[in-house]
Amino acid sequence: MNTDIKINMSKIITIHTDGASRGNPGHASAAFVVIDEKNKTIFEYSKYLGIKTNNEAEYAAALLAHNWLQTNINELTGDEIQFKFDSELITRQLNGQYKIKSPSLLPIAKKILEIKKELSIPISYQHVRREHNALADKLANKAIDKEIK
């Protein structure tokens, strides 16, 4: 019997982010939801951004979540962080698969990656279908609705 087998029981904190833009550019917002290893929502946030493109809103959401993570990392019980985006573009850009050509997005991406590097916990970026990002999407749209009423 092999007793050297180790099972990876890491605790994963999941952060769903979403940016919304009604028009491109248009009224925009950003939101994120933090879910603990027991699948319980521990924090959610949304913010109206003004007039932005959809990609600017997506990046704003990611940056807001990274800033929150940087401030609250010591309060979390996870061993790793998984960001989930419904934007394939932001996922591939932050994973280094695509270059970031937009002058408005490049400084935001650099800041996100600086924060990632500073934190002493593994962070990954994954693309999910929109229906698997429903709460962040709902929060982002509520922020726009609240502002433009």
Hunting for tokens 């917002």 — which residue is that?
29
Q: Are 83 and 12 in contact (CB under 8 A)?
A: no
**The pLDDT value given to residue 4:** 60
Q: For the packed helices 106-118 and 54-72, what is the interaxial angle rounded to 10 degrees?
A: 20
Token readout for 113 is 């990656």
Mean pLDDT in consecutive groups of 10 residues from the start of the chain, 149 residues? 59 97 96 96 98 97 98 92 97 97 96 96 96 97 94
Q: Are 53 and 61 in contact (CB under 8 A)?
A: no
Q: What pLDDT is stored for residue 78 in this prediction?
A: 87
Domains of the chain: 12-148 (3.30.420.10)
pTM confidence score:
0.92
Q: Which two tokens stand for residue 91?
A: 């996922």
CA 5 vs CA 2, 8, 10: distances in Å: 7, 10, 15
